[in-house]
Every structure is written in C-alpha cells, then in structure tokens.
Chains A and B, each alone.
Chain A
Amino acid sequence: MTKRKEITCIVCPIGCKILIESDGKKFKLISGNRCKRGVDYARSEALNPERMLTSSILVENGIWPLVSVKSSKPIQKEMIFSVLKEIKRKKVAAPIQVGQILIRNVSGTSIDILATKSIEEIKK
C-alpha cells in the first residue's frame, strides 16, 4: 500500500523535511530536499532504512579499557541489535590504530567494524 510520509533527512545538520511516497518497493520523492544526498537518503529510508553504527569494543592491555568503533557502511536498521550483540562480546588487544578492522563481516552483513581511535598498549 502506497503511503505518503514526511521524513527528516539526517545526512547533514540542516535536517530537511522530505515528503515521500512509497509502498516499500517503489519510491517517489515529492518535495523538501535541498541537495542530491537528500534524495538518496529518502530513497533508502523508504525502501531499506539503514544507519551508521557507532559503539565501543573492550580492549585488552590498552591504556584505555574501550576503543570507539564505527561500521564501515550504514547497517540495515533491523540488523542493528544483532550487530551490537556481537560488538559487546568482542575483545581486541592493544595496540590499535584508527581505521583498523576489528570485526570483519559483522553478523553476516558484509560490513566491517572499524576502530575510530588509536589505543596504545600499557607499558610495563
């Protein structure tokens, strides 16, 4: 069933309110966006909503107990909590570099979890 919906674009801080029409398979943008990124966002939000995921992973032997991480690409909304579960179980050893892949293909999504911070090893 085609529904009309107003969504708030989250790509940049402006947050345009975009009016769309969709039945879950097809998508039509009615009005509201200020740039092309908004079109892409509106489409994905209507057909396959996804979000960038940020969290933290437990570190062994590092000067900090946690390393902040992000998904290499936006993850499907419905997968978020399974991905978080896997992130919570994981442990990584210091030293860690920014950008280092800490989990490959998390929860079978083909998306990786990357370190967003460098963590030094504890010096003995």
Chain B
Amino acid sequence: MIELDYDVSIIGGGPAGLAAALSAKKNGAEKILILDRNSWFGGILSQCIHDGFGVEETGKSMTGPEYAEIYIESVKKEKIDLMKETMVLNLDKNKTIIAINKKGIHKINSKSVILSMGCREKTRWNIMVPGDRPSGIYTAGVAQAFVNLYNILPGKNVLILGSGDVGLIIARRLKFEGVNVLGVVEILPYASGLPRNVVQCLDDYDIPLYLNHTVCYIKGNERLESVIIAQVDEDWNIIESSKKEIKCDTLILSLGLIPENELSKDIGIKIDKNTGGPIVNQFLETSVQNIFACGNCLQVYDTVDLLSSDAKIAGKYAAQKEQSNKNEIFVQPGEGIRQIVPQVINKAGKIKFNIRVSKPYKSKTFYLKVDNKIIYKKKINWANPANMISFSAEINSVLLKSNKTMEALLDD
C-alpha cells in the first residue's frame, strides 16, 4: 500500500474541488491533493461545451472546458498534486482516505478533507414511469457525454422529459447534430431552466415545449418506439383524455440531480433531507470535524460562478482549520423556503447564505427570524425554485449564545 500525507485532500476534481484547492493554497495549506475518478479534471465541465460559464465571476462568457482549463492551469502552477482515474473506496472519521488507481491502493492521511463529489442524475425509476424497458432511454448527462466526448449520437428522433437547463442544452445540441428533436415535456406550468436557455435552445429552433405534461408510458419491444405523454392537473394526476402517443426512438430524461453522498453517509455525516447534501456550518464544515463539503454534493447549484465562490470558502477553512465552537444555532427552512445553506452557525460574523424557495413567488419579503425577532430581511420581487438566491446576513455572538433555532421564511 502506498502511504501519503497531505494537509488537505479533496475528493472530486470538478470546478468545486479545483476552486477549493486554490483557495486552500492561498490560505496557507502546503500539501494539497485532488483525487478524481475520471481521466480528466474539470468534472462535468468537460462535456458542457456550451457557453454561459463565468459571466458573474470574470465578466466573460466561457464554455465549460475553457472555464475548467483556467482553474486546472492555476492548480498545476500552484503545484497542487493531482491523482486522476482514482476512486476513493473509503473515508473514515480520522480523515484517512483509501483510494485505488492503476498504481495500487493508496492510504492518504489528511488533516482536512473536502468532499466535492458532485451529483448523479435521477433515473426513470425515481419517477416510476411504467411500460416496456427498451434501449434508447438516456439521462441527459449521459446523452451529453456520448455526443460531446465520444462522437456518438444516441438516436435520430428524440423526445426530452424535463425542461431544466441540462434538458434544454441537450435539445439544442442534438438539433445542431441533425437530430429530430420532437419536443421537451415539462410537468410544471413553467420551464424549470433559465429563461435564456428556453430562448436559445427551444424558441430559436421551434422546438415545442409541452408544459403541464409528463411521460406516462414507454413503448418499445427492443428499442424505443414511442412514448405516451399526457397533461396533468394541479396535483400532477394524469388527465386521461389528454393522452397522446409520440413516435420516437430516444427518450432523454432530464429529471433533476441528486447530490452524491455515499462516502458522506458511510461515515455518518449528517445529511439535510432538503438539499440532499451534508449539513454544514458557515465554513462549509460538516458534522465531522475538519471534513468540509462544497459544490453539487453539498447542494445542486445553478451557476458555476456561485459554486466556485462557495467552494473557496470550504478551501479557506480546510486550510486554516478553525477551532470548533461551543455555541451554535441551527437554521431551518420555514414557510415558502425549500432549503437553506448553511444549516448551522457557530461563529459570529457576516454569513453568506443560499436559499431556494419552495414554489414561484412574487412580491414577498424574506426573513431570518429567531423567536419572531427579525435578524435579517430582504425584499424579493420574483423568486423561482430553479433559481438559487444568495445573500449575506450579520449573525452576532449574543444570538449564538442563545443556542436557539433560526427560521428562514417568506412573508408578505
């Protein structure tokens, strides 16, 4: 077994891991290692060949690979160690990592660990679509990898279920490759991706968007032959009379992302059921001391800019190794709020929060309250679950000493 020692070990070399590594270096860590299971770094960005990355961060709109390359070059310049095609088999509470690659098993002793494993995609069985089990059904990320990395087209007549950004982007991509994109089906009454993507990916190419619809049946003896779509009512029940059969040979599922936390769960890190990721404090430290989480495995982000900015927080404190504090308050989502990160505050100061609302709202006020006392408030003219909202709020030490629970909610 090859034994190594690092100050900070980072599991996952996508944008979160890369940004965290640079920040850790900047903040005093000397020996830093990034491990990734793929033969490349940059994670999912490698296949996100569309632009729109880095607008807030750099002022320029870049493609995914370009954005990744900037970070990878910086990481190499800073002499941060990289281990690719390496899978972490085990992580324990002592921050010892057991990882494997073609050179053998590695035992990596670390002072801090940053979890940046990203996320996986929801599958057909997460929404239990009945019918046959033919070939030709792909999740959007996998379809994107085949088209953009491997020079393979999954099909010729494609229907897409889910109008999140991943689904919209793949719609345009396939259209550019000469594929017949029959439409995008969305169960909500509005597209769940960014408005710019609805314009650039659907409107520009007259790709129909079926709102308030879902796929309720899959048909195909060996390869997909058709699907049945139907309109749904407010409770998402199928309206039988609206059923319509669409002939297609490929169904692409863009159903949403699930933060990848198998390693986290294995060591008993507390998980927030609202985000699907670890419960963290303002340093993005999990319930296990000196294990931090950032990126999509902490919570699914909308933009890489915000993701990188938050990841830098994790990197900074993984390097500095703050002492754990006795006084802490918990933060919980209340009325109108689906999730809030961080979920624990144990140091006074200006804290950066990210929230998602539970459904679309107009003209509301967002509050952070403790026992009806307003700690922070912000007017929100328009909010949508698909768009993460960030803000900073001052949390003082008196509040921390109270050991109470702070609620995040919307009100008029």
A and B in contact, CB less than 8 Å: yes
- Ranked 4 nearest A-B pairs via Cβ: A15-B195, A68-B49, A10-B196, A117-B65
Q: Given the interface contacts A54-B63, A66-B151, A117-B69, does A8 sit within 8 Å of B199 by beta carbon?
A: yes
B149 near A64 with CB under 8 A, answer: yes
Q: Of all chain A residues, which has the CB nearest B302?
A: A13
Bound-complex Cα distance A63 to B151 (A): 13
Q: Of all chain B residues, which has the CB nearest A59?
A: B151
Bound-complex Cα distance A7 to B199 (A): 9
Q: Provide the residues of chain A in CB contact with B148, threshold 8 Å.
A: 56, 66, 68
Interchain residue pairs with CB less than 8 A apart (21): A7-B199, A8-B195, A8-B198, A10-B199, A10-B200, A11-B196, A12-B55, A13-B56, A15-B195, A17-B195, A52-B61, A54-B49, A55-B49, A56-B49, A64-B149, A66-B150, A69-B49, A70-B51, A70-B63, A117-B49, A117-B69
Q: Of all chain B residues, which has the CB nearest A7?
A: B199
Q: Of all chain A residues, which has the CB nearest B382?
A: A14
Bound-complex Cα distance A17 to B381 (A): 14
A15 near B65 with CB under 8 A, answer: no
Could you list 17 further interchain pairs (A-B, Cβ under 8 angstroms) beyond the known A11-B55, A13-B302, A117-B46? A7-B199, A8-B196, A11-B196, A12-B56, A13-B56, A13-B303, A15-B195, A17-B195, A55-B176, A56-B49, A64-B149, A66-B151, A68-B65, A70-B63, A116-B63, A117-B49, A117-B65
Q: Provide the residues of chain B in CB contact with A69, threshold 8 Å.
A: 49
Q: Provide the residues of chain B in CB contact with A29, threshold 8 Å.
A: none
Bound-complex Cα distance A8 to B190 (A): 15
Asked if A28 CB lies within 8 Å of chain B CBs, one says no
Docked complex: B31-75 residues within 8 A CB-CB of A:
46, 49-52, 55-56, 61-63, 65-66, 69
Least CB distance, A49 to chain B, in whole angstroms: 9
Asked if B194 CB lies within 8 Å of chain A CBs, one says yes
Total number of B residues with any Cβ neighbor in A under 8 Å: 28
Q: Provide the residues of chain A in CB contact with B200, threshold 8 Å.
A: 10, 51
Asked if B204 CB lies within 8 Å of chain A CBs, one says yes
Docked complex: A82-100 residues within 8 A CB-CB of B:
84, 98
Bound-complex Cα distance A100 to B59 (A): 22
Asked if A61 CB lies within 8 Å of chain B CBs, one says no
Bound-complex Cα distance A36 to B376 (A): 31
Bound-complex Cα distance A11 to B61 (A): 8
Asked if A24 CB lies within 8 Å of chain B CBs, one says no
A13 near B52 with CB under 8 A, answer: yes
